[in-house]
A and B are shown apart, each in its own frame.
Chain A
Amino acid sequence: MLQKMFLLRRFEEKIEELFLVKGALIGPSHLYLGEEAIAVGAMAALQPDDLTITTYRGHGHALAKDVPAKLCMAELFGKSTGTCKGLGGSMHVAIYPKTGSLYATAIVGSGLPIAAGVGLGLKHKKGRQVAACFFGDGAVNTGAFHEALNLIALWKLPVLLFCENNQYAMSTPVNRAVSSPSIAERGRSYGIETMIVNGNDVISVFVAAKAAAERARRVCEPTFLECVTYKMKGHGVYDKGEYRPKDEVAKWLERDPIVAFEKRLQESKLLTKADIDKADATARREVEDAVAFASQGSPLPFDDLKNYVYAGGS
């Protein structure tokens, strides 16, 4: 898991550099820096054929769900070698059904009703797969969220609802946007088993997700997991997040999920400093390889676009 966390961190740091320093990438891009423990802990608890539905802040989910970094990077570069052949871009990097990374939507809240449908489809097929839906604290104020939660609870669908509460929807803090005492309250209000999880602790996320996945497989019921975390940077790559109090940012940066996990692994003598450095170096190399791969490809020919509008050749 540490290896994966490093990959997510170094990947996003590279993206930030490519946007801000090198000017090599353009368009909106929403980084997952500081939230790595959630995607990595959650995916470690899922099976490879479980299906994820995520958002425009989805690079981390893609990498954690084993989408090759080079394909993600090529998608950010808009190349035909990317996960979506360069037609999706940063906000849809995580569409790669081959590894169960089923869908990523750029409209806040819209993934939840789709996750309900995926859960319904899986239940209908009577297999053991589950669906996992990732969304932010901003999504809990959309109508789609409430309609979907009601349906997921009503029909007892095998859906894991990961609310990544990173404290801000763009610049609006949760306390100025959510009327209920907590986001978890909203899960409970639909009669869904709900947990509040330390989203900066990968082991906590893993344990909670494991229990939720087993519950979904065993009794076919959903679980709502409010994973409390913090965006290290702003909403998008160009946002410096200056609307946040400095002491608040400093407090959260001290709770860096990777540093915390490193410390825990060393204290329990599971890994040495050398092991950790090696994992980091491997991640950095993978990211560099991804950039090299992405730099080589080219975009799809414009004339090919029409072939992707409809299935079945019409």
Chain B
Amino acid sequence: MKLREITYAEALREALREEMQRNPDVILLGEEIGVFGGAYKVTRGLLEEFGPERVMDTPISEIAIAGAAVGLALTGLKPVAEIMYMDFLPICLDQLATQAAKIRFMSGGQLKVPMVLRTQYSLGRQHGSQHSQFFPALFFQVPGLKVVLPGTPYDAKGLLKSAIRDENPVLFIECGLLYRTKGLVPEEEYTVPLGQAEVKRKGDDVTIIGVSRLVGEALSAAKKLEEKGVSAEVIDVRTIQPLDLDTIVESVKRTSRLVIASDDVKSGGVGSEISAAVLEASFDYLDAPIMRVGCPEIPVPFSPSLEQMYMPNADKIVQAVDGIMGR
């Protein structure tokens, strides 16, 4: 397998391009995705390659963007809609959660809604309280939706390709801070299945689950822990709906300790749900409390130094592990 180093944004663009080449029914729509090439240039060059009928710039109308995606999907096409910031997602929550996610069920299986809604969260980019939010755990409450959180360029590409081929509505949440980070990605075609977590590093003493950006931070934390003689296993959940609990529980049964790191507000976040599910499945195997590393119950501050203090990072993960080792 030939590998080369590309950015997270380039990996996403490759996925879009390949799927658009493969399937003429794939249509992109969103704000600034065409002529401007995307607010973060993920869709750069696609308008030139595929034309305005397949790469559609929309007005600032999140409800209409998401609703049009639902309608396109109902006519058998494959829309990939973009909502520029996750903060704008609540504007179209009706279309995503109450329409797209329910349609297959309440139609008694007559209809399906194969659409992808791409969005990104910009925590860590000095975007302030209204452009930095990350609330994926909300969607645990929305059966019918799949929720994808890629943490590396490799997964970003492989998961997006799978999301576009899926027959269900998929919320694909990218991490804005990762767009320029590089990683190894095969030259040949590949996909990463939805619903499979991956063990990114083997270890024996503690399991660290990283979500999105914090997969990288968890791996850094594992290196630091190694220097202290602690062997950490790192798992990337990759999708939270469906959640691959088997891989997590299998790991926790071996390590007996679990730390979950995610960029959302800690209370009621992704870590909370995973923690509860792990307790139900493997309480007897645990030697220490499950620890969550997340953001405090405060809106995201602008001031760059304050934002850095606010965000989870490798050191905070190490600290959480330190607190439960030796117990």
Q: Is A270's CB within 8 Å of the partner chain B?
A: no
CA distance in complex: A96, B194 (Å): 30
Interface residues as binary, B43-77 with A (CB distance below 8 Å gives 1, 0 otherwise): 00000000001000011011110111111111111
Residues of B within 8 A of A (CB): 27, 53, 58-59, 61-64, 66-77, 79, 94-95, 98-99, 103-112, 114, 143-144, 146, 166-168, 194-195, 242
Instruction: Report yes or no: B106 in contact with A92, Cβ–Cβ below 8 A.
Output: yes
Q: Is A125's CB within 8 Å of the partner chain B?
A: yes
Instruction: Report yes or no: B108 in contact with A117, Cβ–Cβ below 8 A.
Output: no
Shortest distance in angstroms between A112's beta carbon and chain B's nearest beta carbon?
Answer: 7
Q: Which of A70-95 contact B (CB under 8 A)?
A: 82-88, 92, 95
Residue ID in chain B nearest A307 by CB atoms: B109
Q: Is A283's CB within 8 Å of the partner chain B?
A: no
Interface residues as binary, A292-314 with B (CB distance below 8 Å gives 1, 0 otherwise): 00000000000001011111101
Q: Is the interface of A mostly helix, strand, loop or mixed?
A: helix
CA distance in complex: A102, B71 (Å): 10
Task: Please give, as numbers and ranges, the residues of chain B lying within 8 Å of A229 by CB-CB distance.
Answer: none
Instruction: Report yes or no: B105 in contact with A116, Cβ–Cβ below 8 A.
Output: no
16 interchain pairs (CB within 8 A)? A85-B109, A87-B108, A88-B108, A103-B74, A110-B98, A116-B64, A116-B71, A117-B69, A117-B75, A117-B79, A120-B72, A125-B75, A147-B63, A309-B105, A311-B104, A311-B114
Residue ID in chain B nearest A142 by CB atoms: B63
Instruction: Report yes or no: A143 in contact with B143, Cβ–Cβ below 8 A.
Output: no
Instruction: Report yes or no: A84 in contact with B70, Cβ–Cβ below 8 A.
Output: no
Instruction: Report yes or no: A107 in contact with B53, Cβ–Cβ below 8 A.
Output: no
Interface residues as binary, A117-142 with B (CB distance below 8 Å gives 1, 0 otherwise): 11111101100000100000000000
Contact for A110 among B59, B99, B168, B194, CB less than 8 A: B99
Task: Please give, as numbers and ranges, the residues of chain B lying within 8 Å of A143 by CB-CB distance.
Answer: 63
Contact for A309 among B27, B63, B104, CB less than 8 A: B104
Q: Is A114's CB within 8 Å of the partner chain B?
A: yes
Q: Is A48's CB within 8 Å of the partner chain B?
A: no
Instruction: Report yes or no: A112 in contact with B110, Cβ–Cβ below 8 A.
Output: no
Q: Is A97's CB within 8 Å of the partner chain B?
A: yes
Q: Is A113's CB within 8 Å of the partner chain B?
A: yes
Total A-B pairs in contact (CB under 8 Å)? 149
Residues of A within 8 A of B (CB): 51, 53, 82-88, 92, 95-98, 102-103, 105, 107, 110, 112-122, 124-125, 131, 143-144, 147-148, 150-151, 154, 305, 307-312, 314
Task: Please give, as numbers and ranges, the residues of chain A lying within 8 Å of B95 by CB-CB distance.
Answer: 110, 113-114
Task: Please give, as numbers and ranges, the residues of chain A lying within 8 Å of B109 by CB-CB distance.
Answer: 85, 307-308, 311
Instruction: Report yes or no: A114 in contact with B99, Cβ–Cβ below 8 A.
Output: yes
CA distance in complex: A113, B103 (Å): 15
Shortest distance in angstroms between A155's beta carbon and chain B's nearest beta carbon?
Answer: 8
Contact for A113 among B66, B108, B168, B195, CB less than 8 A: B66
Task: Please give, as numbers and ranges, the residues of chain A lying within 8 Å of B98 by CB-CB distance.
Answer: 107, 110
Task: Please give, as numbers and ranges, the residues of chain A lying within 8 Å of B76 by CB-CB distance.
Answer: 121
**Chain A CB within 10 Å — which of B77, B79, B106, B195 has the most?**
B106
Instruction: Report yes or no: B94 in contact with A110, Cβ–Cβ below 8 A.
Output: yes
Residue ID in chain B nearest A129 by CB atoms: B75
Task: Please give, as numbers and ranges, the residues of chain A lying within 8 Å of B167 by CB-CB distance.
Answer: 310-312
Task: Please give, as numbers and ranges, the residues of chain B lying within 8 Å of A119 by CB-CB distance.
Answer: 71
Shortest distance in angstroms between A170's beta carbon and chain B's nearest beta carbon?
Answer: 19
Residue ID in chain A nearest B106 by CB atoms: A88
Task: Please give, as numbers and ranges, the residues of chain B lying within 8 Å of A308 by CB-CB distance.
Answer: 104-105, 108-109
CA distance in complex: A87, B94 (Å): 19
CA distance in complex: A117, B242 (Å): 27
Contact for B68 among A51, A84, A113, A122, CB less than 8 A: A113
Shortest distance in angstroms between B213's beta carbon and chain A's nearest beta carbon?
Answer: 26
Residue ID in chain A nearest B53 by CB atoms: A124
CA distance in complex: A150, B95 (Å): 17
Residue ID in chain A nearest B81 by CB atoms: A117
Contact for B67 among A88, A113, A305, A310, CB less than 8 A: A113
Shortest distance in angstroms between A191's beta carbon and chain B's nearest beta carbon?
Answer: 14
Residue ID in chain B nearest A133 by CB atoms: B71
Task: Please give, as numbers and ranges, the residues of chain A lying within 8 Å of B75 by CB-CB distance.
Answer: 51, 117-118, 121-122, 124-125
Instruction: Report yes or no: B166 in contact with A312, Cβ–Cβ below 8 A.
Output: yes
Contact for B144 among A86, A114, A310, CB less than 8 A: A310
Task: Please give, as numbers and ranges, the residues of chain B lying within 8 Å of A115 by CB-CB distance.
Answer: 71
Residue ID in chain B nearest A154 by CB atoms: B59
Task: Please give, as numbers and ranges, the residues of chain A lying within 8 Å of B66 by CB-CB distance.
Answer: 113
Shortest distance in angstroms between B248's beta carbon and chain A's nearest beta carbon?
Answer: 18
Known: A110-B95, A148-B63. 8 other contacts (CB 8 A): A83-B108, A88-B107, A113-B68, A114-B99, A117-B69, A117-B74, A310-B104, A311-B104
Q: A88-B107, A312-B166 are in contact. Are A118 and B71 (CB under 8 A)?
A: yes
Instruction: Report yes or no: B61 in contact with A84, Cβ–Cβ below 8 A.
Output: no
Instruction: Report yes or no: B110 in contact with A95, Cβ–Cβ below 8 A.
Output: yes
Instruction: Report yes or no: A117 in contact with B70, Cβ–Cβ below 8 A.
Output: yes
Instruction: Report yes or no: A86 in contact with B71, Cβ–Cβ below 8 A.
Output: no
Instruction: Report yes or no: A314 in contact with B195, Cβ–Cβ below 8 A.
Output: yes
CA distance in complex: A314, B239 (Å): 14
Shortest distance in angstroms between B28's beta carbon and chain A's nearest beta carbon?
Answer: 12
Shortest distance in angstroms between A95's beta carbon and chain B's nearest beta carbon?
Answer: 5
Task: Please give, as numbers and ranges, the residues of chain A lying within 8 Å of B242 by CB-CB distance.
Answer: 314
CA distance in complex: A118, B73 (Å): 8
Shortest distance in angstroms between A149's beta carbon and chain B's nearest beta carbon?
Answer: 9
Shortest distance in angstroms between A274's beta carbon and chain B's nearest beta carbon?
Answer: 40
CA distance in complex: A296, B127 (Å): 60
Residue ID in chain A nearest B241 by CB atoms: A310
Task: Please give, as numbers and ranges, the residues of chain A lying within 8 Å of B111 by CB-CB distance.
Answer: 95, 97, 102-103
